[in-house]
């Protein structure tokens, strides 16, 4: 699988010849000024919750790519109200087979309202089982014991976890989360974008490597193959 980082919590996953975009927030991100959303191609857009720093460019990218938007019921309705008809709503605990693999929606401890303050349903994370490996994208979340369920029942090859603290888990709790899901390769997200979530990169990487794990902090615009 190939992963491209577009800043904050936005990644493009290429797996099974499909392109899956997570939590598009690019035009509002001062660190992602060099990314042009017109250049992004996607077959699917997965949205973890309704906050602006996760949903910001979803409508525009869905419109230009015709990608299928997958999220909770409330977010899918909101997207549809903006004129996007290719939607698929799910909720926590449910899974469905897509042509890229099996997608399961899992618990996240956070909140979820839209930029106008209206109700955005429950926040969630995503578990993807594919022929090229299993991936856990936690979304914005606190550390939660529910993560143990994921690690106990699935082999997780790669996980994306927030490490910026303040609004989500910070580095120390993300390290525990990676232990709960039994994954040694972690891509950090939700850090540096805003003042309250700026982190010390060297310190963060050291804490993971001291625990025998690898924390990957991708450059915005870069692509890695796993």
Instruction: Tell how strand 87-90 and strand 18-22 pair up.
Output: unpaired
Contact code string over 49-88 relative to Ni ion, x by CB under 5 A: --x-------------------------------------
CB of 45 to Ni ion, least distance (A): 17
Binder of residue 14, out of Mn ion, Ni ion, none (CB less than 5 to 8 A by kind):
none
CA 157, 55, 196, 126: dihedral to nearest 10 degrees? Answer: -20
Task: Give CA–CA dist 12/26, Å, rounded.
Answer: 12
CB-CB contact of 168 with 53 (8 Å):
no
23 binds Ni ion (CB under 5 A): no
57 binds Mn ion (CB under 5 A): no
CB-CB contact of 5 with 222 (8 Å):
yes
Contact code string over 2-41 relative to Mn ion, x by CB under 5 A: ----------------------------------------
CB-CB contact of 74 with 50 (8 Å):
yes
The residue from 1, 32, 35, 53 that contacts Mn ion (CB under 5 A) is 53
140 binds Ni ion (CB under 5 A): yes
The residue from 140, 144, 151, 215 that contacts Mn ion (CB under 5 A) is 140
CB of 155 to Mn ion, least distance (A): 28
CB-CB contact of 136 with 157 (8 Å):
no
CB-CB contact of 48 with 36 (8 Å):
no
Q: Binding-site residue total for Mn ion (CB under 5 A)? A: 3
Task: State the residues that interact with Mn ion by CB under 5 A.
Answer: 51, 53, 140
């Amino acid at each position: 699988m190939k992963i491209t980082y577009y800043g904050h919590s936005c990644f493009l996953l290429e797996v099974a010849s499909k392109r899956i975009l997570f939590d598009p927030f690019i035009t509002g991100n001062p660190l992602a000024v060099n990314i042009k959303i017109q250049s992004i191609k996607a077959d699917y857009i997965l949205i973890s919750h309704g906050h602006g720093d996760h949903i910001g460019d979803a409508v525009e990218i869905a419109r230009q790519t015709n990608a299928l938007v997958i999220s909770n019921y409330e977010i899918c309705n909101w997207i549809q109200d903006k004129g996007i008809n290719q939607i698929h709503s799910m909720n926590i605990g449910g899974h469905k087979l897509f042509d890229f693999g099996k997608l399961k929606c899992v618990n996240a401890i956070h909140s979820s309202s839209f930029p106008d303050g209206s109700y955005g349903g429950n926040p969630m994370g995503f578990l993807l089982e594919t022929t090229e490996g299993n991936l856990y994208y936690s979304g914005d979340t606190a550390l939660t014991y529910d993560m143990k369920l994921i690690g106990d029942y699935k082999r997780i090859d790669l996980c994306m976890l927030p490490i910026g603290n303040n609004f989500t888990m910070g580095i120390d709790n993300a390290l525990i989360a990676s232990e709960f899901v039994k994954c040694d390769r972690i891509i950090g997200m939700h850090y540096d974008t805003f003042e309250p979530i700026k982190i010390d990169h060297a310190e963060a990487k050291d804490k993971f490597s001291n625990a025998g794990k690898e924390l990957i902090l991708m450059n915005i615009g870069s692509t890695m193959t796993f």
